[in-house]
Amino acid sequence: SQQGEEDPQALSIQEGENATMNCSYKTSINNLQWYRQNSGRGLVHLILIRSNEREKHSGRLRVTLDTSKKSSSLLITASRAADTASYFCATDEDTGKLIFGQGTTLQVKP
């Protein structure tokens, strides 16, 4: 089953620019999570946003959630070369498990 789908699939920007990734999903959710994966590594949790929240911040990360449009966005401000990674959204098909999207591959050029 495919719940979250990220857009774009790939994004290339210069250091210092902002990066925006979008996630769309199909069914109602309790929460939406964003994860980051460096090449060949495990995923690292970034942010969890609840269905009754519209926006959440963590350092240079800003996540928005629009439940009416069934979509979320992840904004990374003032990007750095170290932000180069794949970013995944994950939604709950039911409370017991997460469904991950295909991911957005971000390249930040120094």
Partner 1 sequence: DGGITQSPKYLFRKEGQNVTLSCEQNLNHDAMYWYRQDPGQGLRLIYYSQIVNDFQKGDIAEGYSVSREKKESFPLTVTSAQKNPTAFYLCASTASGRAAFYEQYFGPGTRLTVT
Binding piece for partner 1, criterion CB under 8 A, among 23-31, 55-63, 64-72, 73-81: 23-31
Report the amino acid identity of residue 9.
Q
Among 43, 65, 74, 85, binds partner 1 (CB under 8 A): 43
Residue 42 binds to partner 1 (criterion: CB under 8 A)? yes
Shortest spacing between CB 49 and partner 1, in angstroms: 12
Whether 78 and 33 have beta carbons less than 8 Å apart is answered as: no
Residue 101 binds to partner 1 (criterion: CB under 8 A)? yes
